Amino acid sequence: MIQGIAANLGRFVLLLLLQVLLLDQVDLAHGWMVPYLYVLFLIMLPFELPAWAGLLIGAATGLVMDIFASTPGMHMSASVVLMFVRKHLLRLMAPRDGYEFGMHPTVPSMGLAWFATNAGVLIAVHHLWLFFVELHRFDAFFGTLLRAVLSAAFTLGLCLLAQLLTSRTAERKRA
């Protein structure tokens, strides 16, 4: 259990530093694609995490991101919405026998199709919420929708790349 907490804490710090120090400084397509890789931490939390703990972790993660990005409450609300949807989505996508204790939603443990679907929906929900809250209005609906979809697709690509790189590293350590 301590190892699981330490691994999740390490993942949180690594993804947050990568987000703040690198990804927030990158301007892709003049702001039309904004990657938010920190959501991978929330997506990869254990299956057996209670709903209330998930919401608290989502709020804390979003709050830390808001502090670094100077966006009061925007990332926090988007992360809480992501964690709320995550619990229902995991229940909807559960295998017939349920999830094994101690498993994490990763490509090696659940498969590429399952992970891409799960992460894709959660990232889309997060990005749609975040970009529409950021705009505060609906008069530029289609532009904001396009920005959210492009950013979500780019973020999903980064999450899949991160899964590929970390699963290869884990395989090398086991061998």
Tens-binned pLDDT, residue by residue, of the chain (175 aa) = 678 889 899 999 999 999 999 998 887 878 889 999 999 999 999 999 999 999 999 999 999 999 999 999 999 999 999 999 999 999 999 888 888 887 889 999 899 999 999 999 999 999 999 999 988 777 889 999 999 999 999 999 999 999 999 876 555 455 4
Backbone angles phi, psi at 34, to 5 degrees: -120, 110
Q: Which residue has the tokens 């120090």?
A: 21
What's the start-to-end Cα distance of the chain, in Å? 24
Q: Which residues sit opposite 33 in a β-bridge? A: 28
Backbone angles phi, psi at 140, to 5 degrees: -110, 45
8 Å CB contact between 131 and 140: no
CATH number at 2-174: 1.10.1760
Cα dihedral 121, 27, 144, 69 sign: positive
Backbone angles phi, psi at 28, to 5 degrees: -105, 125
The maximal CA–CA distance of the chain, rounded, in angstroms, is 55
Beta strands in the chain (DSSP E): none
Domain positions in the chain: 2-174
The total number of residues shown for the chain amounts to 175
CA distance 7 to 87: 21
Model confidence, pTM: 0.91
